[in-house]
Chain A
Amino acid sequence: MNSRTGQDSAGLRARAEAASGGLPALMLSAERLAASLTVGAHGQRRAGTGEDFWQYRPATAGDTARSIDWRRSARSDGQFVRDREAQVAQSAVLWVSAAAGMEFAGGPDRVAKRDRCDLLALAVALALLAGGERVALAGQPPRPGRMQADRIAEALVSRMPLNADDDVPPAEALRPGQRVVLFDDFLGDPAPLLAYLERAAGLGVQGALMQVLDPDEEGFPYGGAVLFRSAAGALRHDTRDAGGLRAAYLARLAERRELLGRAALAAGWHFGTHDTASPPAQAALWLWSMLEG
């Protein structure tokens, strides 16, 4: 990835042009994806400001005369106030890992993990915005509206990858009541993520972990003598028989998933996986259901 950071401004600009050229395509596919999701406000299952009837309750001191439901009060002696279900526009925070490994694609015909994450994140953002929610990328203030989708898309495309193997979601940006979706391969050091989940649970923040992997990472189709190198070059592993490592690797991968799943469950989060070879709609639907619930 050094080659990327080392590019001169002209190269960066050319890349930005190319990326912005891909922006409409991303928006388009994200919109198509978002269209398949069910749109709606989120009932809070309690009285509050909203449009749906929630309950009648006896008027108490402090209720204004305007709030008394006269039609219901006429049927009895007391005065009743018509409560509506509390309806708040939720703020959702999306975070896509910028780790160097996210640029990985198992083959020239594959989608890089980062691109798939961008697509999923934007699709979810579009769906949420269409539902009137306030959405932002992590570290930015959530805003509603169509314009916010464009900003998010722009930020996703123009974001530069890190020259490191690990990227950590900003725990200090967590706010109570937020919904958070983390997109990552979660192949890095799990400790910061577990700390993040703990803090999120403490703040009452709910959300989902979306693990996006390349089929190569899921299947480990290597054999013979291989020198494995992490994307940033920090880690190496030399083997003479890569094929013999497959089972151990898959076991470790499963262990990692189980660890994440348990941690997510403990924090009230959801953990889902997706590989770039399968259609993105599946993952988008799953995410939507998780966010709805």
Chain B
Amino acid sequence: MLVLGPLGFLAPWLLAALAALPVLWLILRAMPPTPRRVLFPGTRLLVGLRDAHPVARHTPWWLLLIRVLAIAALIFGFAGPVWKPAPHLAGQGPLLIVMDAGWAAAPDWAARQARALQALDLAGASGQPAALLVADGAAEGALPFQPAAELAARLRAVQPQPWETRYPGDLAQLLAQAPAGLSVLWLSDGLDHPGRAPLLAELTRRGAVTVVPPQGPRRSLQLVAGDQPMLRMRSIGEAAGALPQILAMGVDPQGAPRELARLKPLQTEPDPGVDTRLVPIDLPSELKNRITRLQIEGQESAGAVVLADDSVRRRKVALVGDASASEGQQLLSPMHYLRRALAPTTDLIEGGLGDVLQASPDVIVLADQIGLPEAAALQEWVEKGGLLIRFAGPRMAASEHLAEEPLLPVRLRAGGRDIGGALSWGDPRGIAAFPPEGPFAGLAVPPDAAIRAQLLAEPSPDLAGRTLAQLSDGTPLVTRAALGQGQLVLFHTTANAEWSNLAISGLFVEMLQRLVQTARAGAASVEAPASAQTFWTPVQVLDGFGRALDPADPVPVSAADFGKGPGPGRPAGLYRAGERMAALNAGGRMQSATWPGARVEARAQTPGTDLRGGLLALAVVLFALDALGSVWLARGRSPRAIA
């Protein structure tokens, strides 16, 4: 590109045609004028005569000027004029393009590629060799410097990866073939990554570095595990104004994928340089269970997508009860009521306690079980975050060792209590209103709910603190205690209609759902079986733009690597190991990058105003004027009318 003041030309050699303009002037000037037509009987005498001194009638100067201007406009137009073109790279040495290729580079990937191709074109035009360093963690060995034209195809093929930008570690080996006086174009994604500062220092030492900052904000989305999973949205370079919403995508009841809900970011967490906001997933559990992915609206990046796995989705609930009860009448079995209450919102597993522990459920429900043989394993599971819900029943009430029973939130008094039976005084008790700070806060108590029998807790100082729900006489109905990272919950009545009509009320379903939601899903499941060598197999992977793909070649990832987050060989996506499903999400902590010693290109850099169209249009207009002028001239010398 040739730059003259504020004007640049893409094809400056075409300007050489301007030298032909004076010649053109002469030729146009001598152009034969339109002859006058004369009727002359003596024409026979003229035939064969030669003009002695052909006198050219001059084309009028204004017509000439229009023509020359039109041709000059054509020449200038085809020379590709650009008003205030984008400035050049610092330095003109061999070109090294560093492309950040993590998920943060995805939103404006096309612009980055275009910018890099432009730099390659320039290098090719000036005959400089070029090299391409794609910072996706795959670059190894010395960087080859090739003629710039051979790199263009490779550059077009590079795609952003669904993991963080990664720079090669061994800089000396990387730049072993690098010639001196490098001219570096660093297409940054605007974030700081490990190894960036050393690479920058090395490159500034070897040549001039030009940094192209990203266009637009960089945002990432992260799942915050907890009792109530939330999302954390971080953004850098966010413009003031409306924040983007989070789209919750999932399948509707018909099975068609669609947008289920839009979540609004709420609170701001203090984090210097990064705008961090929490986004609660405040949705009905029916809806929440159908979410497959959450993404920031309008941000095409793997980092802006959170795939929903077990931690967001349905809890895995194991039901452990009396298997022999199934041989009796169904409506008498506590398992029936539990199954009906939990099946719509959770994944149910049934079986012996030893079997269900292998499936690492989030919640285990024990219906009237006592004297558990796997108490030690169960306790270990609870301490790692499991939620154990137990129901009382005739077997517990009849047990002589009830006081020694482990894994109960409160010590129970043997024997239990009958209210309103044939041999007792008093009426069945109702349920007192739930305390506002408990997990059942806000649930409406049906007035006809009545408890006819219960297990009573031994009075103790912390009984009141452990009581989640109580009867109208103040005796506990549901108690809870923490054990390790997990919880123990006891319903002091049965899960069937034997001791109360609670199990056949809607309240029972709501209470169970509330409890299940408090289970720390996933936390135990991901970490638990590290001892056994688990391999995670990708089921669905994301590309750098956050689009879901089927894994073409599912490579199992060892649990140890899996814990390190996405990287080369383990793209972000959904992974399965046995029955467990876990997501590897790319978005995470962000930090703005600084560029000491490098020239940062102006941010919203315009590529210059292209004047070609205007000049060509001007040429066309001038030619039209020329045609009009010529017609006007010819009209003036039309043949004389003959009488």
Binds B, one of A57-65, A147-155, A183-191, A272-280: A183-191
- Contacts across chains A and B counted by CB atoms under 8 Å: 106
Flag if B35 contacts A248 (CB, 8 Å).
no
Contact B38 A228, beta carbon cutoff 8 Å: yes
* Binary A-proximity of B19-42 (CB < 8 A = 1, otherwise 0): 000000000000011111111111
Residue among A108, A165, A189, A230 facing the most chain B CB atoms (10 A cut-off): A230
Instruction: Say yes or no: B43 contacts A229, CB within 8 Å.
Output: yes
B49 contacts the other chain (CB 8 A): yes
Report the minimal beta-carbon distance from B211 to chain A, rounded to whole angstroms.
Answer: 68
A249 touches B49 (CB 8 A): yes
- For the side of the interface on A, what is the size category? 35 or more
Q: Are A240 and B41 in contact (CB under 8 A)?
A: no
For the complex, is B643 an interface residue (Cβ under 8 Å from A)? Answer: yes
Binary flags per residue of A220-242, CB closer than 8 Å to B gives 1, else 0: 10101111111100011111110
- Stretch among B53-61, B117-125, B327-335, B430-438 lining the A interface: B53-61
A122 to B38, alpha carbons, bound, how many Å? 31
B52 at interface, CB cutoff 8 A: yes
Interface membership of A245, Cβ < 8 A:
yes
Smallest CB separation, B109 vs chain A (Å) = 66
Indicate if the CB atoms of B39 and A226 lie closer than 8 Å: no
Does chain A have a CB within 8 A of B45? yes
B552 contacts chain A at the CB level, 8 A cutoff: no
Which A residues are CB-close (under 8 A) to B55? 224, 240-241, 243-244
Residue of B nearest to A248 (CB): B49
Interface string of A66-82 (1 = CB under 8 A from B): 00000000000000000
Question: Which of B39, B52, B56, B57 lies in contact with A104, CB distance below 8 A?
Answer: B39
Closest to A99 in B: B41
- B36 touches which of A100, A226, A231, A256 (Cβ 8 Å): A226
Cα A248 to Cα B53 with chains together (Å)? 13
Measured between beta carbons, the chain B residues less than 8 angstroms from A217 are 40-42
What is the CB-to-nearest-CB distance from B123 to chain A, in angstroms, rounded to a whole number? 57
Complex CA distance for A245 and B51, rounded to whole angstroms: 7
- A235-B47, A237-B49, A239-B51 given as contacts; is B35 within 8 A of A226 (CB)? yes
Interfacial chain A residues near B153, Cβ < 8 Å: none
Q: Would B38 and A226 count as touching, CB distance under 8 A?
A: yes
Q: Does any Cβ of B come within 8 Å of A101's Cβ?
A: yes
- 95-122 of chain A: CB within 8 A of chain B: 99-102, 104-105, 108
Tell yes or no: B603 within 8 A of A by CB: no
The answer to the question of B46 belonging to the interface, with a C-beta cut-off of 8 Å to chain A, is yes
- At the interface, yes or no: B564 with Cβ under 8 Å from chain A? no
- A228 and B46 contacting across the interface, CB-CB below 8 Å: yes
Bound-state CA distance A224–B58 (Å) is 11
**B32 adjacent to A249 (CB under 8 Å):** no
Nearest B-chain residue to A256, judged by Cβ: B45
- A39 lies within 8 A of chain B by Cβ: no
Q: Is the CB of A165 within 8 A of B44?
A: yes
Inside 8 A of A101's CB, which chain B residues have their CB? 41-42
Q: How many angstroms from the CA of A189 to the CA of B47 in the assembled complex?
A: 12
Q: If A217-B42, A253-B42, A256-B45 touch, does A241 touch B35 (CB 8 Å cutoff)?
A: no
Contact digits for A194-229, partner B, Cβ 8 Å, 1 yes 0 no: 000000000000000000001011001010111111
Instruction: From known contacts A240-B32, A249-B46, infer whether A227 and B52 are also in contact, taking CB-CB under 8 Å.
Output: no
Point out the residue from A100, A225, A253 that lies within 8 Å of B57, measured CB to CB.
A225
Cβ of B35 and Cβ of A230 under 8 Å apart? Answer: no
B residues less than 8 Å from A222 (CB atoms) = 38
Question: A244's closest neighbor in chain B, by CB?
Answer: B52
Main SS class of interface, B:
loop
The listed residue (A188, A224, A228, A244) touching B53 by CB distance below 8 A is A244
Chain A residue nearest to B41 in the complex (CB): A101
List, in ascending order, chain A residues with CB within 8 A of B44's CB.
165, 187-189, 230, 235
What B residues does A105 contact at CB under 8 A?
Answer: 643
B40/A230 in contact, CB under 8 A: yes
Q: Which residue of A lies closest to B56 (CB)?
A: A240
Interface residues of A in 237-275 (CB under 8 A from B): 237-241, 243-245, 248-249, 252-253, 256
A239 — nearest CB in chain B belongs to which residue?
Answer: B51
Bound CA–CA A226/B32 (angstroms): 11
Complex Cα spacing A238 to B37, Å = 9
Which chain A residue lies CB-closest to B51?
Answer: A241
Which residues of chain A are within 8 angstroms of B54 by Cβ–Cβ distance?
240-241, 244
A229 to B40, CA, bound (A): 6
Interface residues of B in 451-480 (CB under 8 A from A): none
| From B37, B47, B643, contact of A227 by CB (8 A) | B37
Inter-chain CA distance A252–B42, complex, in Å, is: 10
Q: Which of A108, A227, A248 contacts B38 (CB 8 A)?
A: A227
CB-CB under 8 A from B42, the residues of chain A are: 101, 185, 187, 217, 220, 249, 253
* Cα-based distance from A222 to B57 in the complex (angstroms): 15
Q: Is the CB of B43 within 8 A of A241?
A: no
A225 contacts B47, C-beta separation under 8 Å: no
The answer to whether A229 and B39 touch across the interface, beta carbons within 8 angstroms, is yes
How far does the Cβ of B50 sit from chain A's closest Cβ, in whole Å? 8
The CA of A165 and the CA of B46, in the complex, are separated in Å by 14
Q: Which residue of B lies closest to A222 (CB)?
A: B38
Contact status of A231 and B51, CB under 8 A, knowing A224-B57, A225-B33, A238-B35: no
Chain A residues closer than 8 Å to B33, beta-carbon distance:
225
A224-B57, A244-B52 known; A229 vs B45 contact (CB < 8 Å): no
Which of A227, A240, A253 interacts with B51 by CB under 8 Å? A240
Asked if residues A229 and B38 are in contact (CB atoms below 8 Å), the reply is yes
Other-chain contact of A241, B34, B36, B52 (Cβ < 8 Å): B52
A sample of 7 more A-B contacts (CB under 8 A), given A187-B42, A227-B36, is: A104-B40, A228-B38, A229-B39, A231-B39, A235-B43, A238-B35, A244-B54
Q: List 21 A-B contacts (CB under 8 A).
A: A105-B643, A185-B42, A188-B44, A189-B44, A217-B41, A217-B42, A220-B42, A224-B55, A224-B57, A225-B32, A225-B33, A230-B43, A230-B44, A237-B47, A240-B32, A240-B35, A241-B54, A244-B53, A245-B46, A252-B45, A256-B45
3 tightest Cβ-Cβ pairs between the two chains A and B: A101-B41, A225-B35, A230-B43
Chain B residues within CB distance 8 Å of chain A: 32-47, 49, 51-57, 643
Which of A's residues lie within 8 Å of B, judged by CB? 99-102, 104-105, 108, 165, 185, 187-189, 214, 216-217, 220, 222, 224-231, 235-241, 243-245, 248-249, 252-253, 256
